[in-house]
């Protein structure tokens, strides 16, 4: 069940109708909890068992970590939580990848090994809900959180359907306190939540799937027929597609939750207006980047153990962040490039950070554009099927190929949409969508939302899943 489908719209209306009944708070929470299982089971019912396993293991691990005074026992309990969540993630997401890598390595040293055919199916959203559930036991172990008294609240937190399969990755400390008292959306929350839902669907269906995706797919699938201009436009189209797709999902998730009275954290803050790569990761997929910072980078030592160790920690964090995104070496390369960017940026800031010239607004704008271009180059590895395809496209981007694959109208469509995206994000980089909406006259807001709804209703294209569902 995906947000851009008639099935979800019917499901969402039914959930709201039952939630609006004069039931006790406990019964309404259970209603949302069970509805979330139905939402997830719509993909593959047996995989609900994986949700139960993560939920039960982390619930009991967290409770017993807090109970025992033995440091040794705490570590054993945490290891059980880590082994369960990462073991499930490793088997289902990386089992086939590791087996294929082993076979390739064996072939490279002259050993011919032919394993049985693997039929592992990737459960949708496993990367998200395992990290979310795991953060509960990690926070209790670190003394940042006390065990929650109600198991049903914790299970509801792990499975809450708006963000279950593609984030934002919510922390227990942010969500569980919202379960204490009865919640119903205020008229403002309902209105703004539904507005975000419509805006997210518009980003996904119209901007990502209709405008950007066809151009990106054409170039990445037919790079042999592309010229240099085509290659750059295809890569920039994917930059727009992946933003509109994932930002669209996040807006849908935040809006759906808000319409029920629950507040989820922002996941994007105009990332293509970032000046530098540390700024980019403070704005892009914030829930994941902050998770990696708090549970990986800082425990590794962060920047507390000297310059060399800092660079190593950055690289390890980004390499694993790349692998989190997908079971392929191309994703590791994508993460490695970001690690390299962050390391070089850190070195330059140390030696040139106080130079006044770089603080001028026009220079900041140029650095922001350079950041976007360099980030877009990393997307070649994110989108390409394999390294030969990635290197071929990169070679094409930095050569003078004269072939032309894209039509003038396709090129213009991508250029105009991307230009508006970059200018809009730059103007709003220190603001928010909510502040912008507040500044717009109510009549204009109504017309814009009505226009978006009409456009969506006239447009097919609800059959393309969100990109991050595969992660």
Catalytic residues: 325
Compute the distance between CA of residue 336 and CA of residue 392 in angstroms, rounded to an integer: 19
Q: At a CB cut-off of 8 Å and minimum separation 6, what does 65 contact?
A: 74, 77, 78, 137, 140, 141
Q: Which two tokens stand for residue 143?
A: 């003394």
Please check whether residue 368 is in contact with residue 274, taking contact to mean a CB–CB distance below 8 angstroms.
Answer: yes
Please check whether residue 338 is in contact with residue 277, taking contact to mean a CB–CB distance below 8 angstroms.
Answer: yes
Quick one: 356 exposed, middle or buried, by C-beta within 10 A (0-12, 13-18, 19+)? exposed
Compute the distance between CA of residue 268 and CA of residue 281 in angstroms, rounded to an integer: 9
């Amino acid at each position: 069940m995906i947000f851009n489908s008639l099935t979800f719209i019917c499901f969402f209306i039914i959930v709201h109708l039952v939630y609006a009944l004069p039931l006790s708070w406990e019964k309404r929470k259970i209603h949302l909890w069970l509805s979330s299982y139905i939402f997830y089971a719509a993909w593959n019912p047996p995989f609900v068992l994986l949700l139960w396993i993560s939920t039960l293991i982390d619930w009991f691990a967290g409770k017993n970590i807090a109970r025992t005074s033995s440091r040794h026992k705490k570590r054993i309990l945490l290891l059980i939580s880590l082994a369960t969540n990462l073991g499930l993630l490793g088997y289902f997401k990386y089992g086939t990848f590791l087996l294929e890598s082993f076979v390739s390595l064996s072939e490279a040293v002259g050993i011919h090994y032919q394993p049985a055919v693997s039929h592992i199916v990737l459960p949708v959203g496993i990367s998200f809900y395992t990290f979310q559930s795991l953060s509960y036991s990690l926070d209790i172990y670190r003394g940042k959180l006390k065990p929650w008294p109600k198991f049903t609240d914790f299970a509801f937190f792990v499975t809450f359907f708006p963000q279950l399969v593609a984030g934002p990755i919510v922390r227990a400390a942010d969500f569980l306190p919202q379960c204490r008292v009865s919640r119903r959306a205020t008229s403002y929350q309902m209105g703004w939540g539904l507005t975000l839902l419509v805006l997210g669907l518009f980003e996904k269906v119209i901007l990502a799937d209709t405008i950007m995706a066809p151009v990106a797919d054409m170039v990445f699938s037919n790079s042999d027929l592309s010229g240099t201009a085509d290659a750059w436009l295809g890569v920039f189209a994917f930059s727009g597609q992946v933003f509109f797709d994932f930002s669209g999902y996040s807006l849908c998730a935040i809006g759906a939750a808000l319409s029920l009275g629950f507040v989820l954290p922002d996941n994007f803050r105009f990332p293509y207006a970032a000046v530098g790569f540390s700024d980019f990761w403070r704005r892009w997929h914030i829930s994941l980047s902050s998770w990696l910072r708090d549970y990986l980078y800082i425990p590794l030592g962060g920047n507390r153990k000297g310059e060399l160790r800092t660079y190593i920690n950055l690289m390890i964090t980004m390499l694993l962040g790349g692998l989190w995104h997908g079971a392929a070496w191309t994703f590791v390369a994508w993460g490695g490039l970001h690690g390299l960017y962050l390391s070089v940026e850190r070195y330059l800031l140390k030696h040139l950070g106080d130079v006044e010239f770089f603080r001028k607004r026009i220079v900041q704008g140029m650095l922001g554009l350079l950041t976007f271009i360099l980030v877009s180059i990393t997307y070649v590895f994110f989108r390409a099927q394999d390294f030969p395809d990635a290197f071929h496209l990169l070679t094409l981007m930095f050569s003078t190929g004269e072939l032309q694959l894209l039509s003038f109208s396709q090129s213009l469509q991508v250029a105009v949409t991307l230009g508006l995206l970059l200018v809009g994000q730059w103007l709003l980089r220190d603001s928010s969508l909510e502040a912008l909406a507040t500044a717009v006259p109510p009549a204009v807001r109504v017309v814009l939302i009505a226009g978006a709804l009409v456009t969506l209703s006239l447009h097919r294209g609800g059959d393309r899943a969100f990109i991050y569902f595969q992660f």
